Structure 1
Amino acid sequence: MSRIAKNPIPIQKNFKICLNGQILKVSGNKGNLEHIIHKNVEVNLTDDVLTFAPRTSSQTAKALAGTTRSLVNNMVLGVTQGFEKKLLLVGIGYRVQIQGKILNLTVGFSRPVNFNIPENITINTPSQTEIIVKGINKQQVGQIAANIRAFRPPEPYKGKGIRYVDEVIVIKEAKKK
């Protein structure tokens, strides 16, 4: 069994877990999430602990047990605290604004780029060069942030583009004469 799957998830009062067959539902103050458990993973819900174990001794089942534990832990963190990714626009004239359910990006193209904001994701723009993507589903928050970054990824010579706040861009040296 994997080391991750051995760690149980303690159940606290600020969220609720419901296990119905292979469907696991997690409810908290931020929202509800559900996940279908793989048939090779056994989930045991006792009064205050959620444990994961492989049903067979195959390598795939052992790996799936650890993966399932990580996914359920991320669901618990999402419905209690939520997830967020921060993006930064670097470049002259690069700016962002929200118009209803559309994120309007001006990032050096001939016309602005419009990005439709999904239903269960909130996007804030504290300034014209900052974007904060928030939500309860970690995978979805990361994917939306990556989709926004993909419109203009940072280039290696001047560092212009859309980057994560904690991202380090290694600047290349320009060609010499």
Structure 2
Amino acid sequence: MSPAEGGIDVEAFKRGMQTLAGHVTVLTARDADGSPVGITATAVCSLTAEPPSLLASINRSTWLGTVLDRSGSFGVNILSHKQVRVAEVFAGMDPHLTGSRKFEAGSWTDGVNGSPLLDEALAAFDCTLDQLVERSTHLVAFGLISESRVSEGPADPLIYHRRLFGTMATAAAG
């Protein structure tokens, strides 16, 4: 592998980043025909509390990457440890559930902006797209949160660590 612009080998970068445990989300939007699209993502974080906003990094080659600018809004669904199946489906690991059929995994309702929100998510946010920045192979979407849904009751978040889905306990065990 050739070194990235930053000066290190791409594979070395990937090996290092897989040690960073991250929460698992499903990002959603609607395409020009109104059909739902979504992907599993770990590169999502809060940005500011005032105004409530977040950002998400999305590969430009994904369906979501191609429709995000036109849709004007997107959903962020934070998954619990019980939602591995949802994460796998939206990561493209089930060849039988593709396109809008991915939404057969879980129960979904539209947020105020029309973004699909997972009913059983630990938390779900419907965001208005504030800005979209291109950086190499990815887009960084800045979202102003229009709606927030938070589940009642305890649940462990689903995390992604060393290229595996798990919990904080499994990540700590190594």
Fold shared per TM-score above 0.5: no
- Give the greater-gyration-radius structure (CA): 1
Q: TM-score scaled by structure 2?
A: 0.24
Question: Which one has the bigger strand percentage?
Answer: 2
